[in-house]
Amino acid sequence: MIARGKSPEKEDYAWIIDYLPYGSSVDSKPSYQKKPLVQAVGEKHFTLMELVPKENVAAQIGSRVYIGEGDRDVIDHVKHRIGFNDLSYGSQLELPYILEKTVLLYEQRFVDFFNNAHPITNRLHMLELLPGIGKKLMWAIIDERKKGNFSSLKELHGRIVGLPSPEKIISNRIIDELKDDNIKYRLFTLPSRRSKQE
């Protein structure tokens, strides 16, 4: 779970989930004054944000862009963090695919989660916070990992009968956390605070 009170590392890379050539629809400026915007999700903490692309640079949906310190190819600057409800319809459609792609890109992080998940309270286990995992699947995962740690999500899926696609389960949990600012337990995300970085 995400540790509270500790200042999180900033995102260095993000995935573009929508390109808005005329800026945000909630921006009250006249169209000719609006600048293009990119909606993106960070690949480490799944931070949702709006980015300002460099002039005359094509920002491709589904591409990974550098947003850290120093020279950037595509992005001029991070405009601010946004919440799930600030996402365009296109972003909301693209987000699950990008999250699954990111989970597979950083597969070991999520395999480690399944290998190390533990009880949070006497009645609730971290595994039960994942959509589609109830007591039965939770115990199946715990019993199976006693025989040896899982080495991949594919192996996990193969060893646990009835387990849905692990990358889809994790993606759905991330979306649940992004949708609810007041969710009690965060496994993979940070709270959505709108912090301007202009």
User: CA-CA distance, 177 to 108, in Å (whole number)?
Assistant: 21
Question: What is the location of CATH 2.40.50.140 in the chain?
Answer: 13-94
Q: What is the pLDDT of residue 22?
A: 81
* Measured distance between the N- and C-terminal CA atoms of the chain, rounded to whole angstroms: 30
CATH topology of domain 106-179: DNA polymerase; domain 1 (1.10.150)
The pLDDT value recorded for residue 25 is: 67
What pLDDT, in 10s, does the model give residues 66-105? 998 888 889 999 999 999 999 999 999 999 999 999 999 9
- The secondary structure of residue 55, as a DSSP letter, is T
Q: What is the pLDDT of residues 47-68, one digit of tens each?
A: 999 999 998 887 899 999 999 8
Residue ranges, comma separated, of all CATH 1.10.150.280 domains in the chain are: 106-179
Please answer whether residues 90 and 78 qualify as being in contact, where contact means their C-beta atoms are separated by less than 8 angstroms.
no
CATH architecture label of 13-94: Beta Barrel (2.40)
User: How confident is the prediction for the chain on average, in pLDDT?
Assistant: 89
Q: How confident is the model at residue 198 (pLDDT cuts 50, 70, 90)?
A: very low
